[in-house]
Amino acid sequence: MILNMGPQHPSTHGVLRVILEIDGETIVRIMPDIGYLHTGIEKTCEAKFYQQVVPLTDRIDYLCPMTNNLCYALAVEKLLGLEIPPKAQWLRVMMNELTRINSHLVWLGTHALDIGAMTVFLYCFREREDILRLFEAVSGQRMMTSYFRIGGVALEPPLDFFDRVREFANRFPSKVDEYENLLTGNPIWGMRTKGVARITAEDAIALGASGPTLRGSGVDFDLRRDLPYSGYENFKFKVPVSQDGDVFARYLCRVQELRESIAIVQQAVDGMPQGPIKADAPKVVLPDREKMKTQMEALIYHFKIITEGFAVPEGEVYQAVESPRGEMGYYVVSDGTAKPYRVHMRSACLANLQLLPKMCEGRLIADVVAAIGSIDIVLGEIDR
């Protein structure tokens, strides 16, 4: 029998349609059908100035906007050859890790909800609210932040911001204990996740899996540590790896990542360098408001950036960052004008979704829900 799961189904985390060929309750074949959220962002990028693409990158993955901002900004900065001041780099790392926690909390809540543990959802969204308030304080937006700009970050954080982050970082590890109390030793949770949707390390690599999905299968690879960007080499953190390759292993990886991420946030707050938050590149970075009112050059630069953008030297760059879901990559091609010739986003979820048939074939329908949850997909990123 052929069964359609989705495109509107609570456990598909967006508009994903999964076509199941079943024999009783056992799955014979499974095929994901995507494209329901395709908005042509890559095409739109080609018609915008480089700085106008930043808000579009937010909208690819609504759970980790800053990661996408960062990846795009890094790619363009590499094309321009810009030097980013240390304070901006540390701010970026700090916000990026808060974004990772935010994304993992939504994943944990909804994943547990799918499998039937309702309470965790409410706990996770309680802490997520704190993070969204921090985002609002720093960028004025809760979700589509556009906080990282080409050449630095948009604004200086407000005065009490670092105290608030520190307070949150001190409080958060005990909250992770709460989630773990609810789930890790829970026998029902174990029965639904242990040994389910198992994937070997060889299959995971061959099918292009990355992030916690790859590390859950025992491959010790993290772009933050192995191909560091934006000053990640200055931070000490462990990369959690589990060997089993099942839903539970991926759950453990992500929960451990919550603890590592909050440790990075703590290091970033404690060691935050002083100095400017934007690169010294007047033709690329918008001038301060104060300067615009007093200096003629600043006003001219502002006018030129807004009206005609800035030319980026010819070339091409592939920049990858470790997003909460895996390797998020931006391939930017410049033809020397003020608009990108081509922007391509390498979506971690698109590659991870290819694991689904390997995970589910020969197993029960109920396991599909657990498997989809465990690869943590965001359909906005898959379809773009």
Residue closer to another protein (CB basis): 81 or 190: 81
Cβ atoms of 16 and 365 within 8 Å: the answer is no
- Residue 183 interacting with another protein (CB under 8 A): no
As a whole number of angstroms, the distance between CA 72 and CA 321 comes to: 10
C-beta closer to another protein: residue 192 or 325? 325
Residue 360, number of CB atoms within 10 A of its CB? 23
- Decide: 101 and 255 in contact? Cβ < 8 Å: no
Could you tell me the smallest distance in angstroms from the CB atom of residue 49 to another protein?
14
CB of 317 to another protein, least distance (A): 6
CB of 257 to another protein, least distance (A): 19
320, β-bridge pairs = 329
Local structure of residue 376 (DSSP, 8 states): T
| Whether 2 contacts 17, CB under 8 Å | no
Shortest CB 186 distance to another protein, Å: 33
Counting residues that bind another protein (by CB under 8 A) gives: 39
**Hey, what are 243's tokens?**
């060997």
Rank residues 47 and 191 by Cβ distance to another protein and give the closer one: 47
**φ/ψ of residue 162, rounded to 5:** -65, -30
Contact 261, 103 (CB under 8 A): no
Question: Contact with another protein (CB under 8 A): which of 1, 23, 24, 40?
Answer: 40
List 4, 25, 26, 38, residue binding another protein (CB under 8 A): 38
Report the nearest approach of another protein to the CB of residue 144 (Å). 22
Q: Is the dihedral of CA 115, 68, 359, 16 positive or negative?
A: positive
The least distance separating another protein from the CB of residue 78, rounded to whole angstroms, comes to 6
What phi, psi does 221 have (nearest 5°)? -145, 125
Are 60 and 381 a contacting pair, CB within 8 Å?
Answer: yes
CB of residue 297 vs another protein: minimum separation in angstroms?
29
Does residue 79 interact with another protein by CB under 8 A? Answer: yes
- 226 lines the binding site for another protein (CB under 8 A): yes
Segment contacting another protein by CB under 8 A, of 101-109, 154-162, 220-228, 254-262: 220-228
Matching residue, tokens 């004008």 = 337
Closer to another protein by CB, 94 or 343: give it. Answer: 343
For residues 159 and 95, give the distance between their C-alpha atoms in angstroms, rounded to a whole number. 16
Q: Which is nearer to another protein, 169 or 199 (CB)?
A: 199
Figure out which of the listed residues 22, 205, 292, 299 binds another protein, where binding follows CB under 8 A. 205
Scanning 39-47, 66-74, 171-179, 241-249 for contacts with another protein by CB under 8 A, the matching segment is 39-47
Q: Name residues contacting another protein, limited to 312-371 (CB under 8 A).
A: 315-318, 320, 327, 329, 331, 333, 341-342, 344, 346, 350-351, 353-354
Rank residues 94 and 214 by Cβ distance to another protein and give the closer one: 214
Q: DSSP string of 28-77?
A: EEEEEE--TT---HHHHHTTS-GGGGHHHHHTT-TT-HHHHHHHHHHHHH
Among 7, 44, 272, 309, binds another protein (CB under 8 A): 44
The nearer residue to another protein, 55 or 273, going by C-beta atoms, is 55
The residue among 52 and 354 lying less far from another protein, judged by its C-beta, is 354
The Cα 380–Cα 143 span in angstroms is 14
Q: Which stretch binds another protein (CB under 8 A): 37-45, 173-181, 265-273, 371-379?
A: 37-45
- Nearest Cα to 121, choosing from 372, 129, 366? 129
Q: At which residue do the structure tokens 């000490």 appear? A: 236
Query: Which positions ≥6 away from 115 have C-beta within 8 Å?
Result: 189, 192, 193, 369, 370, 373
- Binding stretches for another protein (CB under 8 A): 34-35, 38, 40, 42-44, 46-47, 78-79, 81, 205-208, 219, 221, 226-227, 315-318, 320, 327, 329, 331, 333, 341-342, 344, 346, 350-351, 353-354, 383-384
